[in-house]
Structure 1
Amino acid sequence: MAKLNGWLIYNGHLQTNKFLDYVDWMLKAAEKQGIELAAKTNDQFIAGTTSAGYPAVYSRSGKQTELPDFIHFADKDLHLARQLERLGVHLFNSSTAIGICDNKSLMHEKLAAKQIPVPKTMIAPLIFPGMELINKTYLETVEREIGLPLIVKEAYGSFGEQVYWVENRHKLHEIAARLAGRDHLYQQPALLSVGTDIRLNVVGNEVVAAMKRTSENDFRANVTAGGSTQPYRPDNDEIQLALAAAKAVQANFAGVDLLYGENGPMVCEVNSNPHLRSIYECTGVDVADYMISFISNKLT
């Protein structure tokens, strides 16, 4: 049987240690299992169409590129991802899963459709970028239904950034005006979980690793925001909730963040491209090995 041949596509403008570490980590995991995995940046290719509507992907060199057996798409360039899928390449995760997880507003719609417990959430009315927020009366509804304090999240953001704690009405109006023209949402804080969450890494139909993240000086528990970690053994309810959340967003690989709610665990968010180093250093579990095994089992 021929050796599997794959690409790992990541963003060409994110040449930071954190992202390059992820690329190197995945390449080594593939090598251990005898899979050829080549790193490619998204800007090596341009998605396009022809007058006949056929999908096409043009390489930077201008030469025809032979497509691989699979792609681990570790980026959010959805135009390229969709085009590669149209050409018949199997993506892990799919463009659908990446698109859902990339937009927190859409992600919460998908979780709600499957009746997955989440904090009470309201999505801000959209206005055109660059326009001033003139009518703020909807904020009265937000304050009445969610109360204060509350959390504001931009739909697009990573590593706990673009997330704001709002204590009072003045700050609420200030944040709403500042985010005018940007997709964002308002969320009831899980007061039992301020500064604490649980990260469960899902691969296929299995939770392969879990850790508890805690911050002593921030309502966000993200490691990038200064949180500390400790190994965590999730109970069956937490495992089933994480699996259901990953399924709701159609993700093969996911980092599911859970919060402690008054009536049990709730889903904070689902990440389609979770980084691996922090959970490895915390638990000793190499999630990349499980990811590569999943891909191999799916394709062979």
Structure 2
Amino acid sequence: MANLYGWIVYNGNLITDKFIDYVSWFQQAAQKQNITVDAIPNNRLLVTTTSKGPAITGFGNKKPDFVHFADKDLHLARQLEALNIPVFNNSRAIELCDNKAYMYQRLSEKGVPIPETIIAPKIYNGLPLQDQSHIDLVIEELGFPLIIKEAYGSFGKQVYWVENQEELTKRVTQLTGTEFVFQKPVHSSLGKDTRLNLVGNQVVTSMMRTSDSDFRANVTAGGKTMPYTPTAEEIDLAIKSAKAVDCDFAGVDLLFGEDGPILCEVNSNPHLRSIFECTGVDVADEMIHYIRKAVQEN
């Protein structure tokens, strides 16, 4: 088979150093394996529906052999798949991981150990919080302290620690119109977790993240990292979790529960620099190898 040609799709209106670094990193990894990857912003590929079937305006003449989808534009990911282009991760995985409420429902259905979580009832955007009765139900079930996580959020942002009813009511009122979840903290793992990077059904590398000043251990939130050797139980849980949300590639975050590991969340587009700087393992190399094999086998 001739050398592969692919795209990495990124968000054309989210141009930050972190995302630019990721795109460049992936392209360089592909080049090392003689694969050409062009970086394409999502706003240059317009999802178009016609009576003749799905199309993409701006597609050009050269069809890629694969797309690495480093964005969350589900309409575009689905359209690429409708045009029979292999997409990694696929639109289903992106959809499941992008919305934490949706993700926790799926993980629960698959029997994955997760913190006790309550999904906030829907309040339409622009409407006030008129009925607060669900707040009492949350307090009765979870107690204090508790954690609120917005459904859409990355790098440990949009995650809030709540100590009492006054703080809870204030935060819920502020989040009216926003999807979010209430979650019981895993006290044995505050300020500490593990990140396992998976490619296919293999854990490629892992690190521990710790924070002395925050219940979140994310590097962006100030956490420190160190190489970590996961236990067999942690590896099994990470693989089960990634499978549950249909990920080819995943950054699986695990908490240290009193009775064993607990799944914190699955990231469908984990950034690579932090874990490389911690462990010296370039996950992108394994991602490219996986894509090549998957495309050639199909």
Give the TM-score range, shorter chain. over 0.9
For each residue in 1:25-57, what CA deviation from the matched residue of structure 2 results, as whole angstroms up to 9, or x when unmatched? 1011001111111111111111010034x1010
AA of the residue aligned to 1:57: I
Equivalent runs, 1:86-101 vs 2, <5 Å: 86-101=82-97
Query: How many residues are aligned here?
Result: 296
Q: Which residue of 2 aligns with 1:26?
A: 26
For each residue in 1:95-124, what CA deviation from the matched residue of structure 2 results, as whole angstroms up to 9, or x when unmatched? 110011000000001100111000000000
Counterpart Cα distance in 2 of 1:226 and 1:105:
25
Counterpart Cα distance in 2 of 1:138 and 1:116:
26
From 118, 122, 143, give the equivalent of 2:118.
122
Equivalent runs, 1:1-300 vs 2, <5 Å: 1-52=1-52, 54-59=53-58, 64-300=60-296
For each residue in 1:56-99, what CA deviation from the matched residue of structure 2 results, as whole angstroms up to 9, or x when unmatched? 1001xxx7433201000000011111001000100000011001
- After TM superposition, give the deviation of residue 141 of structure 1 in Å: 1.0
4+ long deviations beyond 4 Å: none
Unaligned runs of 5+ in 2: none
Counterpart Cα distance in 2 of 1:160 and 1:90:
30
AA of the residue aligned to 2:9: I
- SS across alignment from 1:222: coil
Counterpart Cα distance in 2 of 1:8 and 1:227:
29
AA of the residue aligned to 2:55: A
Counterpart Cα distance in 2 of 1:69 and 1:83:
15
- After TM superposition, give the deviation of residue 16 of structure 1 in Å: 1.4
- SS across alignment from 1:2: coil
RMSD after superposition: 0.9
Counterpart Cα distance in 1 of 2:258 and 2:148:
21
Q: TM-score, normalised by structure 2?
A: 0.98
Q: TM-score, normalised by structure 1?
A: 0.97
- After TM superposition, give the deviation of residue 14 of structure 1 in Å: 1.9
